[in-house]
Amino acid sequence: DAGVTQSPTHLIKTRGQQVTLRCSPKSGHDTVSWYQQALGQGPQFIFQYYEEEERQRGNFPDRFSGHQFPNYSSELNVNALLLGDSALYLCASSWGASGSFYEQYFGPGTRLTVT
């Protein structure tokens, strides 16, 4: 049973560039949430996708956008990268709509460095 997978593992970008991170949910899951985790901090909720729509959003600017595909996989896009966007980006999958937080499984994350 494949767990949550994310790609790439590591990424280095320059300020002002754009980046796309990818996530495949755990088998049987249809909901994907994205989190940003800065060093020494807990994960911060970015947004959640269910049925190919953004259902909930945290306090992140519009530079952060996402997409969910019919196979439930998801992408996180960040435009106009800032140094402060350097962080570990975690994807978590679960089953059902927004009430599915109870059984979230996290992927290994993508470590983004902005120089």
Partner 1 sequence: RKEVEQDPGPFNVPEGATVAFNCTYSNSASQSFFWYRQDCRKEPKLLMSVYSSGNEDGRFTAQLNRASQYISLLIRDSKLSDSATYLCVVNGEPYSSASKIIFGSGTRLSIRP
Query: Site residues (CB under 8 A) for partner 1?
Result: 33, 35, 40-45, 48, 55-58, 90, 98-109
Pairing mode, strands 64-68 and 10-13: unpaired
Nearer to partner 1, 14 or 106 (CB): 106
Cα separation, 70 vs 27, in Å, equals 14
CA distances from 99 to 23, 55, 60, 63, 109 (A): 20, 11, 21, 26, 23
* Residue 90 Cβ vs partner 1, minimum distance, rounded to whole Å: 6
The least CB distance from residue 95 to partner 1, in Å, is 12
- 13 or 55, CB closer to partner 1? 55
- Choose between 73 and 88: whose C-beta lies nearer to partner 1: 88
